Structures are given as structure tokens and as C-alpha cells.
Homo-oligomer: A and B are copies of this chain.
Amino acid sequence: MASVTEENYLKALFILVTERGMATISDLSKLLKVSLPTANSMIKNLKKQELVNYEKYKPLSLTEKGRREAALVLRKHRLTEMFLVNEMGFGWEEVHEIAEQIEHINSPIFFDRMDKLMGHPTIDPHGSPIPDKDGHIAEEVYEQLSNCRTGEKVRLIALAHSASDFLRYLNNRDLSLGVEMRIVSIEAYDGSMVVSYDNHPAETLTHPVCEKLRVEKVD
């Protein structure tokens, strides 16, 4: 079975490939905060275990076996985050660090129980899909708020990033998943948007923020 370190590499690779379509050794080394030679040697190790496809100087990908293992770690991570929020009362900005550790617990009954207690959730507190027990994961087909137009009404359904400082920024504006907002105006110069929702008649969101908000159209 994969070690904690190996699990972290597999999960990182899975996320990189999902988000950017590909991954390199230097992507991995930055994400995991290890040196390039460290990532390089771990990749050789994972290749030997037939978990990643790798040829010198070529981009990386997961084998089917590796993809499945990675998805199951991601499942444990996201189930845990949802459990911490729904069953233990944590805020969505508090759960990532804890889940980063609990995702490595080896106990099928523990995660099955979480899953059952919550009624088999399909998304985590940040709107990301939870892979199923076979390692299958729903595709994220959401639109970015930054691609919407003035006058449209949209519902916030997921976040593209979930660093706690960003989550606290959203907390400060009462923005949470499910909030429906109308796009009041878009500043042509820098792409910032003014949106209205609930008790916030005119909240200005910068372009980088709007890119991180995943929405679906309402009406």
C-alpha cells in the first residue's frame, strides 16, 4: 500500500492533471514543496510501481492504477472535509489542514461510516466532487463567474481554489455555496464585477476573485 508520502504525490498529480490537463516534475515539486531531485526520484519510484507513466524529460501522467489510488485519497480528503463541516461544525476555511492528515488514515469502515452518516454526499464543502468508492469522479463543468455577463443571475456552486485566506474573504462578504447573485455591472478596464445578493446590494469582486467562483445560471 502507498505510504503517506506516495499518497500525497499521487493526489497532487491527480489534481494537477485535472486542473491543467498535464503535470511536470517541477509542478509537483512546487506543489509539494520539495526539491526537484526529490520529486524526480519519487516519480521513478512510482513508475516502478506502475502508478505513473514517465519517460525522461516528458510530462507525467497517472496509470489507471495510479489514477484510482489517487482518486481514493481525494475521496477520503473530501469526505473528511464534508464531515468536519456538516457533522462537527467547522467552517469551510478550517477543514483543509485537518483533512490533509486524515486522508491518510487506513480504515475503510471509518470513511464508510462518515459517508453513510452524511447520506453519501457528492460534493465537499467547497463544491468539489467526491470520487465514489471505485475512484470515479464527476467532471466539473461549471462556468467561472468571470465569464458571465451583466444582468445574468447565477448561483455559486463551487470554488476553483480554497485557501483559507480566500475562504475568509468570502465569509466576510457572506458568500457561501448556494448564494444567488445578479451581475450588476462589469468594469471593462480590469474585469472587476459588481454583484448583488441577499443583503449585499453592490459588492465589488476583482477579476481574480471572479475567476475562482464557479457558478451555474439561474432562471
* Closest Cβ–Cβ distance, residue A6 to chain B (whole Å): 16
Number of interface residues of A (CB under 8 A): 18
Instruction: Decide yes or no whether A110 CB sits under 8 A from chain B.
Output: yes
User: Are B88 and A113 in contact, CB atoms less than 8 angstroms apart?
Assistant: yes
- Indicate which residue in B87, B88, B94, B101 contacts A105 across the interface (CB closer than 8 Å): B101
User: Are A105 and B107 in contact, CB atoms less than 8 angstroms apart?
Assistant: no
Contacts of A113 in B (CB 8 A): 88-90
- Indicate which residue in B84, B87, B88, B105 contacts A98 across the interface (CB closer than 8 Å): B105
Q: Which 3 pairs from chain A and chain B are nearest by CB? A: A98-B107, A101-B105, A98-B110
Provide the A100-132 mask, 1 if CB < 8 A to any CB of B, else 0: 011001110110011001000000000000000
Instruction: Decide yes or no whether A152 CB sits under 8 A from chain B.
Output: no
Instruction: Decide yes or no whether A97 CB sits under 8 A from chain B.
Output: yes
Nearest B residue to A110 by beta-carbon distance? B98
